[in-house]
Structure 1
Amino acid sequence: MSVDERAPAVAGTVAPPVLAPRQSPGPAKAVVVVAPLALSIALGLWGIRRKNTMWGDEAVTCQLAHRDLSRIWLTAQHVDLVHALYYAVMHEVFALFGGGLLTLRLPSVLAMSVAASGVGLLGLRLAGPRAGLLAGLVFALLPQVQKYAQEGRSYAMVCALVTWATYALVAGVPHRARWRWAVYGSTMLLACLLHEFAVLALVAHGVTLVVSRAPRPVLRAWSAAAACVVAGLLPLAIRSAGQSGQLSWIDGPVRLPRFLATAVVGVACALAPLGTRGPVRLSALAVPMVVLPGLLLLIASLVKPVFVDRYVLYSSTGIALLLGAWMDRFLRRQRSFRYVWIAAVVVLAVLVPTSVSLRTPQSRSNDVTAIGAAIRTEGRPGDGLLYLSDQYRAWTAADPVDTRFLTDLALTQDPVSSNTLAGVELPAQDIAARMLEFDRIIAVRDPAGAHAPTNPREEAKTSTLRRHFRAYGTSQVSGARVTVYVRDHDPSPRPDLDPATRERTVGR
């Protein structure tokens, strides 16, 4: 056999085997993005109106966002400076789409959906397609995520921005391109300007890089970006520190057990080997995000109570990543899917009732729609209207129709013209004198057992009612009581503002 004849055979023996073409990651990535996005939108639209009810903070959003930008800025000098940017954003949204209830809440639905897709991409990058998909779906299903996806407040937007800033951080570690760190820094700064406590995520990111033993160039780039964020936030933080009295309603940690349980579950999940090897490990990213922001708020609460779980809602991204990666690991180790189905049934049995309850008016601490309806029902044209806490004036301003036939007895300058939330009230003696000009007064006050504010104006209101009026009937509503008082011409002093023998409760 000639050399030429043997050549094909030799070549055939050493040629590498033909490999099957690798599947493109595009479809998996698309599913990881689209599925959590779609689920979050569906859950956000489900029962979004909450039976056409609104809670107090949403009423403030509605009131301020309807003012022009100059008045929003002037009002923010007195109160709610920390939310000024959000009110400006919602002002533009209302200008484009109207100021209805759907317009108030749809931006939060969309923002949380964008956050869900970001969580999916983070999981994909750190642990693979299935872990990313599961993490995104878990995030959309978390009760606190479902709740704040349907609220006209800034928390969903902050959560979305922090999530995508976190993705920019993870993407920037291996590439080290300056523009990636510019994107990271600008996204984090925008999140912090929407709510100052987003800066705590910056601390979590720094711990992640240290634990991951990031190279010095990466640490320098992050430090520069973090310094820019802090510098951009500092003027707002200094100015808003003078409005810290707005947090006086916090007398202790709000929903602390939920935070502690989430932290324990997150740390437990992190004990298992999760994710893939890379410059940033999933546990190193997720655990600081779950634990540190809430922990730092708790430490700050030793000086002044500031812990409210929604202030660090973005921590939900961390627990979703940990649960998604843990579920992915569990599925890879299981040959039978029987336990998977059992677990799915148990989770649904817990989530469905919770999800349904979140879409009821009772799921919020107050219902300004019910307060307004009670005022409209109990009041008669020409009656006096008295707020025994001026916060209720800010709440009922969301729908002026409820109070248009009543006379606000304490008000001397309305909220819009005074660039305030609750307006400017008369001096105490003038309020008392004006009250005596009316035979019927509709009083809006705190729920039974709540701590009533004490100042000369409030004392004048309550003492005048006690001495010269008697309670005719009370409507108990979520977050307040609406009581009808009629003039009592008996001059003898009355020992109590609301004697049980003289007050009838009107059920709502």
Structure 2
Amino acid sequence: MSSLCKDRPPVARTCTRTRAEVASALLPVPVHVLVSVLAPVLVMLALGLWGLDRGGMWRDEAVTFEVAHRSVPQIWRLLHGVDAVHGLYYLVMRTVLSGWAAFARPDEVVLRLPSVLGAAATAGLVAALGVRLCRPRVGLWAGLLYAVTPMAGHYAQEGRSYALVSAGVAGSTLLLVRAVRGGGWWPYGAVAGVTCVLHEFAVLALLAHACALALARVRGRVWRAWGCAVGGVAVVLLPVVVVSQGQAAQVAWLAVPDLGAAGRLLEGFAGAPGLLLVPCLVLAGVGVRRGPRGELSLGGVALPLVAVPPVVLLAVSQVRPLYDERYVLYALAGMPLLVASGADRVAGVMGRLRAGGHFAPARTPLLGVLAIALVLASRLPVLQADRSADRRPDNLAAVSRVAGRETRPGDPLLFLPAFGRRAALTYPDDFRRTRDVALSVPAPVDGSLYGREVGADELRRRLGRLDRLWVVAQTYALRPGWSSRSPVERLKRAVLDEEFVPRAEFVQKGSTVRLYVRRP
């Protein structure tokens, strides 16, 4: 063999080296690594775009849509009173909708596209973490598992910030790995800072990163560099925290979470309810492996990411309720990494046991992909059902269609409670011929979400002159015994009960459109 190498012409060796160098310059990332990262992106993108137009927005999306159509000064004024935690997201969405308006009228599909792209980016970043911390097939499996998880698909189709926050946390986690291995720290701090401003509860991911560094037993210089980066994040985030603390009443509807909430979150992360949860947890447990001192391992990064933010928020919420699964969606990224790592470990053991048989290690990635395809097939009914507007708490488009079909020009209209006005703010064309009898100052001018209404005395005078009145109400507000802290809302209900009788009713999910006429 050595004589053959000596007889080979020097030119041939030079040409061979030149081709390799050219190939490396054109494609610096190996093909199998590129496929491992891009395949989950494409799968998540396809699942996110599937059924993106549900035929209507629900209330949280409606707020995004309405606020994103305001001017920057109007948004800035709004944030001083409510929704400071979503301020950056509203500005991003205003840019998106304004840019789209140059080509066509923005609709709910455009509203959800950033979330689809955020979810696709998260799937790719999860895959990149698996490649960086373990091997390409682990990255491929982890990214695909993330893409086919119903919880990820659900929020990929929400016109809210949570999918983008997930992408930011996954990106900052990948940059943390890069920084510990000798890269710069400022990209980590910058991405983490933007992500925390996008939603302040993403700061819990920094606690997960601290736990990952502690498990890796990194040296003091790494802790100092990480501390400086986190200090920069704190400086940027502090004004948002101060303002949002004064708006704590916005989350007063949250209840103290119980063990059932924790169980549902765990099932959502695993994407496997009931008995199917057990194999996922077993694989995740097998995937927890500790790396050498000073090195971040896959288990050491993924386990704190999936566990620390939910556990901390659930614990805090026992004293002050702040927990909702949306706020820790980004922690989902850790679960597929653990499951894929466990599957890789099991595949390695099987390969060694069958070393003398017909087992082909090269086929292992394809077998894993086939298994994930079967998982996707089993989840398709869940994913398909989630693409219906009925899977959301309400459908403002359905309410608006009733108003546009049934009302006549000049008909007086009353919203009960006032935040029911979001249907008119989101779909104004269906309400153009009606007259809002309670509105005093429109929402964009008032710097509020739903506008300012007249006082109780003035509203009573206005209602006293009417013989016919349309009411768009939350269904619970029409039930016997309902009351409100607001004197205006109590007056609305009292006048309807005492002076009017219902003539026609149209019930949609969570909302009721009812025609009242004055009592004889």
Q: TM-score, normalised by structure 2?
A: 0.84
Matched residue, 2:151? 144
Range with greater deviation from structure 2 (35-44 or 452-461): 452-461
* Structure 1: 5+ residue stretches without partners: 1-7, 12-20, 490-508
Q: 1:103 aligns with which of 110, 123, 143?
A: 110
Matches of 2:408 and 2:113 in 1, distance apart? 36
Contact 1:111 1:156 in 2 (8 A): yes
SS in 2 for 1:482: strand
SS in 1 for 2:426: coil
Instruction: Give the drift of 1:313.
Output: 0.9
Equivalent residues in 2 for 1:140-179 (5 A)?
140-175=147-182, 177=183
Contact 2:145 2:372 in 1 (8 A): no
Instruction: Give the drift of 1:475.
Output: 1.6
Q: 1:327 aligns with which of 330, 343, 346?
A: 343
Structure 1 residue 465 corresponds to structure 2 residue 496: yes
In 2 relative to 1, CA 273–386 (structure 1 residues): closer, same or farther, beyond 3 Å? closer
Matches of 2:340 and 2:196 in 1, distance apart? 27
Paired letter, 1:311 = Y
Matched residue, 1:35? 39
Q: 1:132 aligns with which of 120, 124, 139?
A: 139
Q: 1:269 aligns with which of 283, 289, 292?
A: 283
Matches of 1:126 and 1:133 in 2, distance apart? 12
Matched residue, 2:378? 350
Contact 2:291 2:297 in 1 (8 A): yes
Instruction: Give the drift of 1:447.
Output: 2.4
SS in 2 for 1:470: strand
Instruction: Give the drift of 1:347.
Output: 2.2
Range with greater deviation from structure 2 (330-339 or 38-47): 330-339
In 2 relative to 1, CA 94–346 (structure 1 residues): closer, same or farther, beyond 3 Å? closer
SS in 1 for 2:246: helix
Matches of 1:333 and 1:439 in 2, distance apart? 79
Range with greater deviation from structure 2 (32-41 or 375-384): 375-384
SS in 1 for 2:440: strand
Matches of 1:260 and 1:183 in 2, distance apart? 31
Matches of 2:165 and 2:370 in 1, distance apart? 35
Equivalent residues in 2 for 1:361-380 (5 A)?
361-380=389-408
In 2 relative to 1, CA 153–273 (structure 1 residues): closer, same or farther, beyond 3 Å? closer
Contact 1:371 1:396 in 2 (8 A): no
Paired letter, 2:426 = A
Matches of 1:220 and 1:137 in 2, distance apart? 35
Matched residue, 1:191? 195
Range with greater deviation from structure 2 (76-85 or 318-327): 318-327
In 2 relative to 1, CA 268–215 (structure 1 residues): closer, same or farther, beyond 3 Å? farther
Structure number with the higher helix fraction is 2
Q: 1:227 aligns with which of 220, 227, 231?
A: 231
Equivalent residues in 2 for 1:395-410 (5 A)?
395-410=423-438
In 2 relative to 1, CA 156–341 (structure 1 residues): closer, same or farther, beyond 3 Å? closer
Contact 1:204 1:292 in 2 (8 A): yes
Range with greater deviation from structure 2 (81-90 or 332-341): 332-341
Contact 1:378 1:442 in 2 (8 A): no
Matched residue, 2:519? 488
Tell me how many residue pairs correspond in the alignment.
Answer: 471
Matches of 1:105 and 1:248 in 2, distance apart? 27
Matches of 1:273 and 1:467 in 2, distance apart? 65
Matched residue, 1:417? 445
Q: Superposition RMSD on alpha carbons, in Å? A: 2.8
Matched residue, 1:61? 64
Contact 1:37 1:117 in 2 (8 A): yes
Contact 1:36 1:116 in 2 (8 A): yes
Q: 2:78 aligns with which of 72, 75, 79?
A: 75
Matched residue, 2:11? none
Matches of 1:109 and 1:452 in 2, distance apart? 40
Paired letter, 2:443 = P
Contact 2:112 2:158 in 1 (8 A): yes
Paired letter, 1:148 = Y
Q: 1:26 aligns with which of 12, 25, 30?
A: 30
Matches of 2:287 and 2:122 in 1, distance apart? 25
Structure 1 residue 435 corresponds to structure 2 residue 439: no
In 2 relative to 1, CA 46–255 (structure 1 residues): closer, same or farther, beyond 3 Å? farther
Contact 1:181 1:222 in 2 (8 A): yes
Range with greater deviation from structure 2 (301-310 or 343-352): 343-352
1:244-290 per-residue CA deviation (whole Å, 9 max, x = no partner) reads: 11112223439543224448867643432556945111111111111
Contact 1:134 1:328 in 2 (8 A): no
In 2 relative to 1, CA 452–356 (structure 1 residues): closer, same or farther, beyond 3 Å? farther
Counting aligned pairs with the same residue, the percent is 37
Q: 1:311 aligns with which of 324, 327, 331?
A: 327
SS in 2 for 1:271: helix
SS in 1 for 2:286: coil
